Structure 1
């Protein structure tokens, strides 16, 4: 990969001293005070337009939290243009905080089938049209490998940053570490230093793409080092782009004893920083103020994901002493959110021939028919009951791995599969099933692998997955809504919500989950072909790369023997399988493997039949939400996530993908 790292910090700073292309040549008479504006976005995940490719329709107008719409870069462009016109382009800095290259069928085609799109990189084109001044590297930038990232970086006019992502051969940043921008505020030149760091979780989630090629350093100490260098080079204001969320309570290390999220620590411990722009967790947190290491307050701001908002930070500056001085007494009032739902689309951006052509090509792609379904299938209740649509995924995964193991020493070992309910709204219609339907079911760009587990390890795995459910009273009716909405799913454990993409069902074995019992005692009747699973029994688990590499923190999987891994994309395997069969019929793959209970029922029943599981409450609606993988998946994404595919969340979509 072409290295765009900085040979020396001083050289990087010197290179960045030139004014942005947006800087006006007109000079106003100097005054003693004025505002520097920092506009920022994060976790855009390929949402150039207000278009849901999975539904082949515009996102419905909404002002509600994570479903806010209209959204997209075409409206971000309107906001940026308006602010520049109102305040003077030469006083405005425009930044993005990463998770750009994954999240929609548009970004999938750009990475995997670029010949179907225009020759110019679609995401670089969108960023260049708006005129960003610097762009950070998110975890989902690594999903398609370093070649895809490098192609984007070459066509992006703004510097691409990630100070803590270093080339293992040189020990230097893979792309850029910092940039220095010169702006004019109240007739005075102001130097704005920008540092970019990203979550070290990518070393785990995209190990196959990164292992041996790049390493991830501590983002806090790295940001502190580069912020000091920018101050020494004359920066009046320092901004850290941190592709990670606020610090978590009792965080688990994600890589080399580093946490996934450390934006709070960056604001508190990095000397000389004024503003931290965070992201990755797909939250809309306009203003968080903490005490910084340099004796003044520091602002943390996170724009809403999928280009739903722009964080508008106005930093008051005084020039009474001849040099820019920040008014830190007003930090709590610096940030406001400008929502894309409140503005019209920028017509010149939307009519750009490259973007318009690529959007049209993507719409055509997702409407390609791949098979016919004999019946309608939905994921609506897939988190609380075994459903045919999830078994469709599991059957393709298990069959693929079993076929690949033929002729090896692993042939004959039972193959099982883990499947997560990424979406509560995905469905297959009766009749034509299109690519958009399968893509809406499997929203993250995960790949498939096979690992070996013992029966004891499988039980641990399932018990860990069952943390997803809130403990209820014996005999209670299960409410499929999230705990935050009064339901029994998406339980909050140690202060952290377990999102849908981090709940796994396993096909190929039978079991029940008694959520009236404490975690660790919930998995009942774990059997294979009607016989109890023994501790030393061997299984091959078909598993996605996010989970295998540690996404979600599942036990045993990161150290389990990998028996097969050809890095085949699960979504494409689903498309190919459906296309080859021509028909999707639940009788070909659906087997009821598991159910929830609150009264101890499990397999096998005394008469050899499956017992009746505890009913769910159909009167309590599931919260649709959106896939968010922070790791995800938007990975999530926590698509992101996720979190949010945003990654796999992920959406940040976590936080992938998942």
Structure 2
């Protein structure tokens, strides 16, 4: 339609619920509560295969400013926004993916539940940011929560309401994110909630059937698959994903005009600690590889894609990935290596080329993909088939629908360079590859490394079980450096 109110919606854009409240004196009062939900319009890229030609998604702020007044017109006393969108920043832009902070400023919204970025709010992560009061748990003065990931926290908002001749209004509030567990000093975990027997019983059969399915072996590996060092060195758990993607895309492009172009493969480590904690790593021993292990290697139900890029775009793709690392000072010892604001799923390793990362250079791109230092060159000694890469040469990059459609904002992958859209998930591609090979040998080939910086060392944190593999990592000298925070183990790299 010409505007949101003129749209024919697939689902109701909001719902009004009649409830009854009891006041402090025991008297009962009717109240009409409005709930309205929002999703990033980028879903049209991420799930294009299902959505394109069937639905359209509008800008979050545009939609809110149309429907919230309508909810008020229809009698909503209190309006809660359910925003599957990160908190973001106070500066409004068209088509924002993380728009909850700006959304909270829409007149008529009384409270907001956020999500999408898998963080926790209120938390110190957001201290000092414009429009955010962590102590009060508010975004632009409105109470808000974000409940972490995988049910790690319960977001809870309490509203103190008052009713007068003008209707209901919020006169006080509290917002918190309650953790469901805590980590102890000995790295053990203590539950802070109890399981509900009725819930467990209701899904017991499906749970057992699912476990039986995912425990089925699809092949074998003659080397361990782990991701403990996936952020600091070429890694077997990422390598096997890259190899399977290249194998699949080579088959899919046979008989097309792209057959014969060199195929590179971009893959990122999904389970690499971070917010997931010191146990959040892939760790598959030698022997049988089950479906559950493949799901561990590739968490998301992405589908296979191929994009056509230039040699210059290959370099900038890798520059974008290199934002994973902090800039270090040459000659200085024990500097922290990893940028905590950079998600591991955006750390693409490119198989098929060789390169080094110069940590003394600033990152060319911000952690969200904004070009910040145009003259920076972290990626050095980038070669293809033993020769410096030709900036004008054409390459096929095997990747996934999220990245190819603009997820992560990578140069060369903005949705306009896709040359193949596969019907198969990347996870199924890996299963197929393992089934065909029978036994895989997932050894990293050290095609990327850090450029030498004599007299310089860096520290990084990973899972405690990493110590069993530290001596086997190719292309980097790793040594133990004691305890890290929150149950992690700390290691040192001499550059």
TM-score by length of 1: 0.60
Q: Does 1:502 align with 2:346?
A: yes
Please state whether the residue corresponding to 2:481 is helix, strand or coil: coil
Deviates more, 1:230-239 or 1:500-509: 230-239
Given the alignment of the two structures, is residue 303 of structure 1 paired with residue 140 of structure 2, yes or no? no
1:395 and 2:235 aligned = no
Q: Distance in 2 between matches of 1:369 and 1:505?
A: 27
Partner of 1:155: none
8 Å CA contact 2:237, 2:282 repeated in 1: no
- Trace 1:474-623 onto structure 2 (pairs within 5 A): 474=330, 487-490=336-339, 497-519=341-363, 520-558=376-414, 560-586=416-442, 590-599=444-453, 615-619=477-481
Alignment of 1:343-358 (within 5 A): 343-352=193-202, 355-358=203-206
Q: 2:219 aligns with which of 366, 371, 380?
A: 371
Question: Relative to 1, partners in 2 of residues 1:229 and 1:624: Cα closer, same or farther, differing over 3 Å?
Answer: same
After superposition, give the CA deviation of every residue in 1:54-85 in whole Å (9 maximum; x if it has no partner): xxxxxxxxxxxxxxxxxxxxxxxxxxxxxxxx
Matched, 1:280 2:116: yes
Distance 1:171 1:624, change over 3 A: farther
Structure 1 residues 547-591: Cα deviation after superposition (integer angstroms, max 9, x where no partner) = 10111110122255433222311111111211222212136xx43
**Deviation, structure 1 residue 211:** 2.2
Between the two proteins, the alignment pairs up a number of residues equal to 420
Residues 586 and 177 (structure 1), Cα distance of their counterparts in 2 relative to 1, 3 Å cut: closer
Matching residue within 51, 55, 62 for 1:221:
62
1:362 matched to 2:198? The reply is no
Q: 1:426: how far off?
A: 0.2
Match of 1:128 in 2: none
Rate the CA distance shift 1:586–1:303 in 2: closer, same or farther, 3 A. closer
1:365 alignment partner, SS class: helix
Cross-structure match for 1:261? 98
CA distance in 2, matches of 1:556, 1:537: 13
Structure 2 partner of 1:415: 263
Counterpart-to-counterpart distance in 2, 1:556 and 1:401: 17
Q: Does 1:383 align with 2:239?
A: no
Instruction: Specify the alignment match of 1:471 in structure 2.
Output: 327
Alpha-carbon offset, residue 338 of structure 1: 4.5
1-side partners of 2:349 and 2:331: how far apart? 22
Q: Residues 475-523 of structure 1: CA distance to partner in whole angstroms, max 9, x if unpaired? A: 567x7xxxxxx731235xxxxx211111111001111111112333111
**Contact preservation (8 Å) 1:599, 1:614:** no
Measure the CA separation in 2 of the matches of 1:298 and 1:560: 39
Verify the 8 A CA contact 2:145 2:177 in the aligned structure 1.
no
Note the residue ranges of structure 1 that are not aligned, 5 or more in a row.
1-6, 8-162, 292-296, 480-485, 492-496, 601-611, 627-658
SS at match of 1:372: strand
Aligned CA distance change for structure 1 residues 225 and 498 (closer, same or farther; 3 Å): same
The equivalent residue for 1:233 is 74
Deviations 1:415-474 (A, max 9, x none): 110010111210221111211111111111111111111111111211221122111122
Decide whether the 8 Å contact of 1:238 with 1:274 is kept in 2: yes
Does the 8 Å CA contact 1:455/1:534 hold for their aligned counterparts?
Answer: yes
Cα shift at 1:537: 1.5
Q: Contact 1:453 / 1:560 at 8 angstroms: preserved in 2?
A: no
What's the CA shift for 1:300? 1.8
Pairwise CA distance, 1:541:
0.7
Deviations 1:587-639 (A, max 9, x none): 6xx43311112439xxxxxxxxxxx955345426788999xxxxxxxxxxxxx
Q: Is 1:456 aligned to residue 312 of structure 2?
A: yes
Question: Hey, what does 2:84 align to over in structure 1?
Answer: 243
Three-state SS of the structure 1 residue aligned to 2:212 is helix
Three-state SS of the structure 1 residue aligned to 2:56 is strand
User: 1:447, 1:544 within 8 Å by CA — same for their partners in 2?
Assistant: yes
Q: In the alignment, what sits opposite 1:335?
A: 175
- C-alpha distance in structure 2 between counterparts of 1:566 and 1:407, whole Å: 15
Preserved CA contact (<8 Å) 1:313 1:336: yes
User: 2:15 matched to 1:179?
Assistant: yes
**Number of the residue aligned with 1:79:** none
1:369 Cα offset (Å): 1.1
SS in 2 for 1:573: helix
Query: Which structure: greater strand fraction?
Result: 2
Q: In the superposition, relative to structure 1, how do residues 250 and 421 fare at CA in structure 2: closer, same or farther (>3 Å)?
A: farther
1:214 counterpart SS class: coil
For 1:474, what is the secondary structure of its paired residue?
coil
Distance in 2 between the 1:433 and 1:452 partners?
32
d(CA) in 1 for partners of 2:78, 2:249: 54
Q: Distance in 1 between matches of 2:87 and 2:210?
A: 35
Q: CA deviation at 1:214?
A: 1.8
Deviations 1:225-257 (Å, cap 9, x if unpaired)? 222122222222111111112132668x6xxx3
Q: Aligned with 1:473: secondary structure?
A: coil
> Following the alignment from structure 1 to structure 2, what is the Cα–Cα distance between the partners of residues 534 and 202?
35
Q: Distance in 1 between matches of 2:78 and 2:118?
A: 26
